[in-house]
């Protein structure tokens, strides 16, 4: 019993120290343990100075969400940043900024991927905003990955498609 307790303590410390998601410990296939959702299209991110607001993400039944925001070419002197907001109702009509989530995107951050990981948001709906100003900044398709799903396996939302391959053999694609 003492060894089991020691093992559990070490495992908990490793999880906390390295922030290893549970699916990485062999719980299952990632595509069955989390939702993958495109929340802004490439078309919305063409070179411009207008802000991009992602689609809202409903966090009901999930522990957290990581927004992945890839940037392309950023023109010199561009003033660009990203941040997250949350709201209690769908539509994000009274969305409030989430403290500490703002990140500056330098005009030298061409072809860099940024992320915002929101763990246990206090309200049900969240989204990200790419604040673009003064010069062009190209943004790729923004992806939200909801994790810590309470009810698995998940069914991916409309607009998400893919396959899982467990220990595939070498050979023809």
Nearest to 88 by CA among 50, 59, 119: 59
Report pTM: 0.82
pLDDT band at 28 (very low <50, low <70, confident <90, very high): low
Say what the pLDDT of residue 172 is.
Answer: 87
pLDDT of residue 47: 86
pLDDT number for residue 88 = 98
Helix (H, G, I), strand (E, B) or coil at 74: strand
Q: What is the bridge-based pairing of β-strands 64-74 and 137-139?
A: antiparallel
Q: Which CATH number fits domain 34-147: 2.120.10.30, 3.30.70.1150, 2.60.120.1110, 3.40.640.10?
A: 2.60.120.1110
- Report pLDDT for 8: 46
Q: How far apart are CA 14 and CA 113, in angstroms?
A: 26
* Secondary structure (3-state) at 140: coil
Say if residue 167's pLDDT is above 70: yes
What per-residue confidence (pLDDT) applies to 16? 44
Q: Tell me the mean pLDDT in the region 40-49.
A: 91
Of 123, 28, 107, the residue nearest 71 (C-alpha): 107
**Measured distance CA(124)–CA(86) in Å, rounded:** 7
Structure confidence by residue, pLDDT tens digits, 133-164: 899 999 999 999 999 999 988 999 999 999 98
Q: Over range 26-47, report the average pLDDT.
A: 87
Residue 51 confidence (pLDDT)? 95
E runs forming strands in the chain: 35-40, 52-53, 57-58, 64-74, 79-87, 96-97, 103-105, 113-119, 125-133, 137-139, 142-147
């Amino acid at each position: 019993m003492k060894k089991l307790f020691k093992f559990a303590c070490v495992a908990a410390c490793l999880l906390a120290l390295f922030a290893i998601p549970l699916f990485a410990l062999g719980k299952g296939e990632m595509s069955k343990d989390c939702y993958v959702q495109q929340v802004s299209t490439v078309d919305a991110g063409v070179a411009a100075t207008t802000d991009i607001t992602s689609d809202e993400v409903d966090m009901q039944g999930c522990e957290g969400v990581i927004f992945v925001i890839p940037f392309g070419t950023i023109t010199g002197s561009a003033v660009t940043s990203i941040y997250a907001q949350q709201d209690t109702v769908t539509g994000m009509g009274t969305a409030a900024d989430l403290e500490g989530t703002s990140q500056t995107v330098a005009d030298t951050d061409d072809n860099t991927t940024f992320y915002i990981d929101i763990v246990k948001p206090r309200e049900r709906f969240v989204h990200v905003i790419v604040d673009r100003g003064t010069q062009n900044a190209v943004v790729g398709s923004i992806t939200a990955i909801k994790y810590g799903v309470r009810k698995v396996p998940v069914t991916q939302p409309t607009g998400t498609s893919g396959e899982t391959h467990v220990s595939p053999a070498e050979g023809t694609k």
